[in-house]
Amino acid sequence: MHHESLSRYPSLARVSETSFKKNTVKTYQSILSKLTAQFGERDLNSLTPEEILSFLTQINRDTKQTTKRTRYSQLTSFFNFVSQNLDSNFRSPCNTPMLKKFYRSPGLTRWTILEKETVDEVIFRTIKPRNRLMLELMARGGMRISAVLQLTPNDIEDRKLTLRSPKSGKEREIVFIPQKVADRLKEYINAKGIGSDQRIFRISYTAARRVVNKAGKVVGIHLRRHDLRRHAATYASRSGVPIEIVSKVILRHANLSTTQRYLGTVSDVEAMRWIDNLYS
């Protein structure tokens, strides 16, 4: 059998360049470069699970658990690519019970979904127009903080907002917002004399997160950066909006499975209320 050395493959991350975001490609290239630097001309088949664990432990110092799992997943994907496309006899050193157990994912996170009344109070009690508009775009348009901060007047066409270079990796996405929010946004831009290509909300990401956190404290809750986006999705879903619309229009996800993780669990009280409404 023809064996391949590791140094041949640092560029394999480019195979996925057409279907993955640039940042994803960069992270693959980074870990494969580290793997090559560590093991050089070693035969791929000679790498052991113990060596891979040692390698991951070394590069994962002072990183979050999610980052550790991501890097293990990236290595696994690389070795699977080799096995499926280059050498059918190759056995991945990541495919062992020891490593799978060490880097297994936790159970699905169950988010606490905010009720509409709570979100309305958060927005109503936010006095500063800039901060209130940012919160409304997240809660009514399902927008991420990063997308809100990138908005310019050029991106606005009445109730339709164009997101350029969104997180999804697409060239652009469209957000639809309620007319009242669109009117307030237009008034704010005119009042502040914001140029057509200038950012509407000229604060940092960190400052924007503080805005969200402070708004929650005013009503006595711990409000996180994604809570308003999750509320937008769950409120729409429970108001009867088809999940396809929630996924493609409100959250702008590539697939429904991602959207389903955003939607909150249904409590017994809410379940009984829906049944009563259905059969009353």
- pLDDT value of position 10: 45
Last residue of a domain, one of 41, 73, 102: 102
* Residue 125's CATH number: 1.10.443.10
Are 174 and 274 part of one and the same domain? Answer: yes
- pLDDT value of position 262: 64
The domain tally of the chain equals 2
45-104, pLDDT tens digit by residue? 899 999 999 999 999 888 888 888 888 988 888 888 888 888 888 888 998 888 888 888
Q: Please indicate, yes or no, if residue 109 is contained in any of the structural domains.
A: no
Q: Please indicate, yes or no, if residue 110 is contained in any of the structural domains.
A: no
Are 154 and 243 part of one and the same domain? Answer: yes
Q: Please indicate, yes or no, if residue 108 is contained in any of the structural domains.
A: no
Last residue of a domain, one of 69, 102, 135: 102
Ranges of residues in the chain whose predicted pLDDT is under 50 = 1-2, 10-19
pTM: 0.59
Are 162 and 259 part of one and the same domain? Answer: yes
Q: In three state form, how does the secondary structure of the chain look?
A: CCCCEHHHCHHHHHHHCCCCCHHHHHHHHHHHHHHHHHHCCCEHHHCCHHHHHHHHHHHCCCCCHHHHHHHHHHHHHHHHHHHHHCCCCCCCCCCCHHHHHHCCCCCCCCCCCCCHHHHHHHHHCCCCHHHHHHHHHHHHHCCCHHHHHHCCHHHEECCEEEEECCCCCCCEEEEECCHHHHHHHHHHHHHHCCCCCCCCCCCCHHHHHHHHHHHHHHCCCCCCCCHHHHHHHHHHHHCCCCHHHHHHHHHCCCCHHHHHHHCCCCCHHHHHHHHHHHHC
Domain span at residue 65? 6-102
Are 42 and 158 part of one and the same domain? Answer: no
- pLDDT value of position 194: 96
Q: Please indicate, yes or no, if residue 200 is contained in any of the structural domains.
A: yes
